[in-house]
Amino acid sequence: MEKCSSCKKQFPESTLKTMVHIIDRKAYIKKICPSCQSIVLNNPNYYYLGDEKKSQ
């Protein structure tokens, strides 16, 4: 289980999407749960990470 960076709830690792949040030209790795993904997708400062590790 891992924490969603947005809502802070616990989710299984596989359901969380790794995203990049750009703040002041710095990139931060975020783990975003499915319900928060629809919110952050409307935020132009969030990007999907291209090289996603799916097996951990």
Is position 30 an interface residue for Zn ion (rule: CB under 5 A)? no
For the four alpha carbons of 34, 35, 41 and 46, in that order, the dihedral sign comes to: negative
Segment interacting with Zn ion (CB under 5 A) among 17-25, 32-40, 46-54: 32-40
Is position 40 an interface residue for Zn ion (rule: CB under 5 A)? no
Whether the CB-CB separation of 55 and 12 falls below 8 Å is answered with no
Residue 1 Cβ, how far from Zn ion at the closest point, in Å? 13
Out of 19, 36, 40, 46, the only residue in the binding site for Zn ion (CB under 5 A) is: 36
